[in-house]
Amino acid sequence: MTAIHVDRITKRFDPDPGKAPTLGTIDLAIEDGEFVALLGPSGCGKTTLLRMIGGLEQPTSGQVLINGESVSAASKAARRRILASVGFVFQEHNLLPWRSALANVAVPLEVRGMARAERRRVAAEMLALVGLSHAEGKLPHELSGGMRQRVAIARALSYDPDILLMDEPFGAVDAQTRDVLNLELQRIWMRRRKTVVFVTHSVHEAVFLADRVVVMGASPGRVVEDLRITTPRPRSLEATMTPEFLATAATLRDFLSDHFTPQESAT
């Protein structure tokens, strides 16, 4: 079944018809349980696309369907219901600084009216899933960047969404931590089988994690390549050194450089 259907959407922020829209026509079907990585130059519209999938932004034309229901055309109440099955992990973790790790993970459960004891139980389980049981009582500033991102992932998983939208969640951590987090995300995905859309600037990360890598070009933002990664899971870090992995990564780097112009790297 198709979990996410980006149905011929366009997005224009600048009304000047002489300028290219931010997103040209994008048509993308993502299957239930699929892990899709989204690669592309800075400013090509990856975050905008993710925000439209998550109902945080309206397309200029076209629509986004989640499990067959249009988010874009839905009423406020219907949208809230549809989006209850969607979790977001932003580039910045957005944790509440005055709340412990456990209390942060419990926020979406509180919003959903879950009883206190049950909330604590689920939040503790989620922190255990991301390997942070020992940090339940810590405040965000007492955690490392990688630990904070793990708390953000635990929070997004807490209400058990079918779909997880992740916008460069590991962009700000060092390479070793990133490897660890990638392995952990793979483990979690294998256990929970969410549909994931994962934005990244790292070709390596995309090939390691995804079933499918979608490459975008800019001006207007559009899909320029859609590549399937068939390496069986679990994938080890050593598997990223095989000729097959390196050849796939090289192909993707070629696509990216074909669609890269220097001014796009300005941000």
d(CA 74, CA 56): 13
* Nearest in space to 3 (alpha carbons), one of 51, 71, 79, 80: 71
Q: Sign of the C-alpha dihedral, residues 187, 151, 147, 205? A: positive
Nearer to ligand ATP, 26 or 74 (CB): 26
If one asks whether residue 217 binds ligand ATP (CB under 6 A), the answer comes out as no
If one asks whether residue 47 binds Mg ion (CB under 5 A), the answer comes out as yes
Nearer to Mg ion, 47 or 195 (CB): 47
Asked whether the beta carbons of 100 and 53 are under 8 A apart, the reply is: no
Asked whether the beta carbons of 11 and 48 are under 8 A apart, the reply is: yes
- Kindly write out the interface string for residues 238-267 of this chain, putting x where it contacts ligand ATP by CB under 6 A and - elsewhere: -----------------------------x
- Kindly write out the interface string for residues 35-64 of this chain, putting x where it contacts ligand ATP by CB under 6 A and - elsewhere: -----x-xxxxxxx----------------
Q: What is the DSSP string of 164-210?
A: EEEESTTTTS-HHHHHHHHHHHHHHHHHH--EEEEE-S-HHHHHHH-
If one asks whether residue 22 binds Mg ion (CB under 5 A), the answer comes out as no
Nearer to ligand ATP, 226 or 244 (CB): 226
Nearer to ligand ATP, 146 or 171 (CB): 171
Task: Note the residues at the interface with ligand ATP (CB under 6 A).
Answer: 13, 22, 40, 42-48, 267
